[in-house]
Copies of this chain bind each other. A is one copy, B any other.
Amino acid sequence: MTTTPLRITVWGENVHEQVEPHVAERYPDGMHGAIADGIRENLPDAVVRTATMQEPEHGLTDAVLAETDVLTWWGHAAHADVDDAVVDRVHKHVLSGMGLVVLHSGHWSKIFGKLMGTTCTLRWRSEHDQELVWTVNPQHPITRGVPNPIVIPEQEMYGEYFDVPTPDELIFISGFTGGEVFRSGMTYRRGFGKIFYFSPGDQDFPVYHHPDVRRVVANGAEWARPERERELPTLRRYDLGEYFDGQHYRGPFDDAPEDEDATPTETGAATGAAEPAETAEARA
């Protein structure tokens, strides 16, 4: 479930635009500005705002995230400069239900790597390849209203092997002038959140002005909308024959005989993902 209208935050690293004049010229409102405009154009009822790395806490405070249904992420030059605390916060919100749309070079962002668990590496070349984006899942709402293929006259090449987990849904595959192919549109479900990765889009080409690319990004944001109240999955104990009133986990010897219960060892989560939860019980 989510409030209506859909609330989208477009996050931009905003570095290339500041240091490379040719990028600033191509994207006068920043890349995040172009991405946000493309979404507004296709989802006129959505509330779209932007946030950039240069803002305090990168513009992604807990308050902002709590009011964000779907976050889009574009970064490239400064992945390593993103604060780990912000990454952990975004991670927790995604697992709790916030949608996430990761764009292009965001494949190597900390947040995408943390959600995927893999290196997220690939092969690449920035040499004016033509990119054709082919639909392989034509029944999917993310493909609504775009031709098969989408033709992008010039684009950076991203090629396989792309080291990511097998996607829940493979939606687009791209072919490049050089003969390389790339799984360019994929969905993942992690925790209670939905994730869409879409590769077309680069600082050196005007890809975020392409109408079909803008449509796909908007479709992806709409698809990633949460289905329920935000809540982190938690570990809970349920009595035999009882299915709804789970109790918080108290530690590794929680299942020990009751007389040992006097001093529960509250270790919290080993993974870092599952923090000692104050959240309400996870119900589907």
- Chain A interface SS verdict (over half): loop
Which chain B positions have C-beta within 8 A of A175? Answer: 175-176, 179-181
Partner of A227, one of B130, B141, B192, B270: B141
Let me know if A112 is at the binding interface, CB within 8 A.
yes
**Min C-beta distance of A219 to chain B, whole Å:** 10
Among the stretches A24-32, A34-42, A63-71, A146-154, the one at the interface with B is A146-154
Partner of A240, one of B177, B228, B239, B271: B177
Among the stretches A3-11, A47-55, A113-121, the one at the interface with B is A113-121
Let me know if A264 is at the binding interface, CB within 8 A.
no
Let me know if A200 is at the binding interface, CB within 8 A.
no
- Does B270 contact A119, Cβ atoms closer than 8 Å? no
- Does A114 contact B271, Cβ atoms closer than 8 Å? yes
Which chain B positions have C-beta within 8 A of A284? Answer: 134-135, 138, 143, 146-148, 161
Closest 10 A/B residue pairs (Cβ): A113-B271, A79-B270, A148-B284, A135-B284, A119-B274, A126-B255, A77-B252, A163-B233, A121-B235, A175-B181
25 pairs, A vs B, C-beta closer than 8 Å: A109-B270, A110-B271, A113-B270, A113-B271, A113-B274, A117-B117, A119-B235, A119-B273, A120-B274, A121-B234, A121-B236, A123-B236, A123-B238, A124-B236, A125-B237, A134-B161, A134-B181, A139-B189, A148-B161, A156-B255, A159-B238, A165-B190, A173-B181, A178-B238, A179-B241
Q: Which residues of A contact B (CB under 8 A)?
A: 1, 20, 76-80, 82, 95, 97, 108-110, 112-127, 129-130, 132, 134-141, 143-144, 146-149, 151, 156, 159-163, 165-166, 168-170, 173-181, 183, 188-194, 204, 226-228, 232-241, 243-244, 246, 249, 252-253, 255-256, 267-274, 282-284
